[in-house]
Amino acid sequence: MQNLQEAINKVRKAGVEVGKDGFMLCCFHNEQKPSARLWYNSYHNQVEYHCFGCSASYKFETFYKMITDKEYKQKAKKQPPHIDFTLLSSRLNAYFMSLLEDSFNDLKYGQAISLAKTGREYLEERGLKLDDIKRYEIGFIMQGDARRLEGVKDNSWVKDTSRYCFLTFPVRNEKGNIITMQFEDFINKDKGDNTKFNLRGTLPLWYSQTPSEESKNNEEWVICEGIYDAMSFDIAGVKAIALLGQPSKRRIEGLKEFKHLTFGLDNDETGKGYKQELSKELYPSSTLREVIYPEGAKDPNQLLQKQGIDGIIGLMERTKEVDLFPPLIDVIDIMVEKYSRLIEKAIPIPGEFNYLEEFLPNGLLPGVYGLAGIPAVGKTTILNQLCDALAKEEIPTVYFLTEEPGFRLIQRTYKKEGLSSMRELKGNQPEILEYRRIFEMTPEYTAEDLKDILRGIKNKLSAEGKHYPIFLLDSL
């Protein structure tokens, strides 16, 4: 094991200028002021290289090869530096721990020290101690460093001047490898806006411990919503998994590998909805139980804050088997809440279709509608007219055709509007053309293709600030 000075000397001999404090110009991107450094990671007992500009992080041996070996040099030129999440997580945790040391009082880091201590107080309020910060490798990063990280899916949150710093949480896959990180803007936690962000891609499940095949088959795991909830169970000696978002297909497939699961989801309508959705998917592969919260408890972490580890242990002593087909009295509140949210998103019935209000008194709710009838009765005609009427209300529609070309629809439109050609629509009814889209489908399109097309169109219209679109699939 070499020390930091030996590593600095070795790099200098390779022809690279390094300051006495280990700072240097980055070897992987052009810059005028040094933003890279060699440093000794006391937690991993090794020297490492990190650039605060492009976020390249390497163990010293790898870095040294990249600056001395020709093959490595060429590879580095062709491929931009990537984030080594293991090193980044370790570095941010080490930075956090050093800022919290009583002996560390460098005036240059005054603001960082103050904010880091606020972060520690916040974690302590959550029921996490200094040993937990080390164990879960919770890190700390200032906004200026965060905005320079590569691979941020949407970096608008790190450029927001109201955000000063973040706590960081490594997210590992089933094998224990860190594959991304969650950042939390704890300073703005009470301001109502979103304060949690993922560094790259969609977050997978978060495991409190690396699951083995034996633990998947024979041990009980608790499903929670967030990282703090999973940590709360883990601190009490109970293995836990955090969903980190809605129960997507990918997350559900991961949960199916566990044979004994207990729901420790939040004690609110969202948690109850998640439980209902997951129960249907997981009951063929797992035994399912659920915790029974004491009066006034919202989630596992809140219980840890109020009652400590004893509260979590007590929670695990109050579990019951999940009723897959509960009486309506147990789910009516969830149904009412879902219906209320749907009504808020309803689209009013266009005036010329007011006869539909008898059947759709709340308007067009989000969901799937079917229109059936014998051939040539006019199904396509009425759907086309509905699209025109919605377009006049500035509601975008996307019409998927399989049996005829798109211009046939527009022919129906201009004739109904009393015009003599399709081009006249541009001058007389431009909103019909602006808010309508037609997609001609051919036999080679699959359901997977269609799913990607729908998602792409929805994202595009959302980016333009347009209303959520209505999709019409004709004879698919």
Return the pLDDT at 121: 96
Return the pLDDT at 77: 55
CA dihedral 406, 409, 413, 419 (to 10 degrees): 60
Give the mean pLDDT of 436-449: 79
Return the pLDDT at 55: 61
Return the pLDDT at 222: 97
92 token code pair: 């941010």
pLDDT digits (tens, 9 = 90+) for 83-97: 778 888 888 998 899
- Name the residue with higher pLDDT: 69 or 371: 371
Give the range among 2-6, 105-109, 221-225, 246-250 with minimum mean pLDDT: 105-109
pLDDT band at 22 (very low <50, low <70, confident <90, very high): confident
Residue 81 has pLDDT above 60, yes or no: no
pTM reported for the whole predicted model = 0.64
Give the range among 68-77, 362-371, 439-448 with minimum mean pLDDT: 68-77
- How many Å apart are CA 454 and CA 391, to the nearest integer? 18
Residue partners of 296: CB distance under 8 A and separation at least 6: none
Give the mean pLDDT of 227-234: 97
Give the mean pLDDT of 407-421: 91
Residue 227 has pLDDT above 90, yes or no: yes
307 token code pair: 């009652």
For tokens 């052009």, the residue is: 30
For tokens 């240097």, the residue is: 24
Q: Is 252 helix (H, G, I), strand (E, B) or coil?
A: helix
Give the mean pLDDT of 360-378: 88
pLDDT digits (tens, 9 = 90+) for 41-67: 765 678 888 776 666 777 888 888 888
Residue partners of 379: CB distance under 8 A and separation at least 6: 371, 372, 373, 474
